[in-house]
Structure 1
Amino acid sequence: MSDLAATDRTLVAEPLDAAAFAPFGDVIEAAGESYPINGGMCDRFHDRARMDFTEGGRAGISVGYGRPYPLPLTFDLVERHPLGSQAFVPIGEDPFLVVVAPDEGGRPGRPRAFLTRPGQGVNYLRNVWHGVLTPLGRPGHFLIVDRVGGTGVNLEEYRYDTGWTVVPA
């Protein structure tokens, strides 16, 4: 499609759900199977994300401070990382907006928007188009786990010719 000749450029933010999000990555949350650690004082929800790095990169853990965005939100910028997956886990309970898009011949297709619940983070699979870190309402701190080091360029940005608007459900 030529920059998605769709007439409707409004996306309704869906609740973030593991099954709906699976084509784009993983929902990181304390849900499902767990096992006790630390003398039974902690439940470990093990291996929540499919981290994947190429070209000699390794996993790095960073901290991000995101400035808040309002809804409705109009955006035109998405990005992807061809050499490594990227996870965002909030350090707090506030929701954030997750925008993803399928790849259509090397360009992003029609995006989808998801709204997290408290305690949810996401892992974008390698080469998945996604929006920028988008806390809502107030600033947010996030753990960022992604590829550091190695060779090659691990960022590709794309701007839609016409913006998309995300509204709450």
Structure 2
Amino acid sequence: MTFSHPKNRHSIRLKDYDYTQSGAYFITLVTYQRENRFGKIINREMKINEYGEIVVNEWKKSALIRAEIELDVYVVMPNHFHAIVYITDNFDVHRCRGDRPIAPTTTISAGPTPKSIGALVAGFKSAVTHQINQKCLTSGLPVWQRNYYEHIIRNEKSFLKIRRYILENPMQWEQDSLHVA
């Protein structure tokens, strides 16, 4: 494992993009040290364990406690989680097409912007980590890697390709770049 000094870290987010903006987003979260924590792939199907159940329950709860989001497909894998999520302010979740205007972000804050993809991911990761640490009778042990991957879905072709990728991810586990034996 390599450690990057905090001063050398750089954001993987799109510069000047407003992540509170209505639209569809593909997110991927990876477990700490790519540890297989959430279950196993058996006969090309994901069999989640009690920790995987926590991920599912907290993900579903996210849509209940955050009025600005809607969930689409998702998959819990042994060491990662994929999902499509919508920020829905005046966004038709059934028509994912066309580029949306980019709005510059000028505020500087200590945490993620409220009602943003970053806030959703931070809250979700925190809730899952808290629940797993409670179940393990531990405190402060990491569950997730520090960051997450996101992709702004800009058109229907991309949306359908990503959706298929998520749904078929368990069947492709052996070829997955995140697969750890």
Quickly name the TM-score band, shorter chain normalised: under 0.3
Structure number having the greater helix percentage: 2
Instruction: Give the TM-score normalised by the residue count of structure 2.
Output: 0.22
Structure number having the greater strand percentage: 1
Instruction: Give the TM-score normalised by the residue count of structure 1.
Output: 0.23
